[in-house]
Amino acid sequence: MSAQSSLILYITGINLITFAMFAWDKYTAIKGQWRVPEKTLLMLALAGGSPGAIIAQQRLRHKTRKQPFRARLLLIAGLHVLLLVALAIPVSRQLMFEQLHLLLASWEG
């Protein structure tokens, strides 16, 4: 499997999982049962599931007014947009990869 195919599969999967977790949280909220922690929902969004989270918010009408959750989710989505824009510009993409390489090298010791 190519890197591009793997990335597409990952992004699709994380967004489906994120949407499903929002749906489960809404269901359990209605039933008065154990809820999915907001931290978990935000971490899924940060891991690449921000489109799935935002779609779930709108379609399911879940956590649309809850602050600061909503603001944090929009911040994560904004960071993802900035990352995509930066990756689309060759100079910034190269700089990002160089910084990532330096960071990984520093962790290795």
Supply the pTM of this predicted model.
0.80
CB contact at 8 A, 56 and 63: no
The rounded distance, in Å, linking the Cα atoms of 8 and 107 is 28
pLDDT at 109: 63
* CA nearest neighbour of 76 among 53, 46, 104, 49: 46
> CA angle 108-43-29, nearest 5°?
155
* d(C-alpha 7, C-alpha 14), whole Å: 10
Please, what are the averages of pLDDT over each run of 10 residues along the chain (109 residues)? 86 98 95 94 97 95 84 94 86 82 81
Q: Within a 13 Å sphere around the CA of 105, how many CA atoms are in the beta-carbon half? A: 6
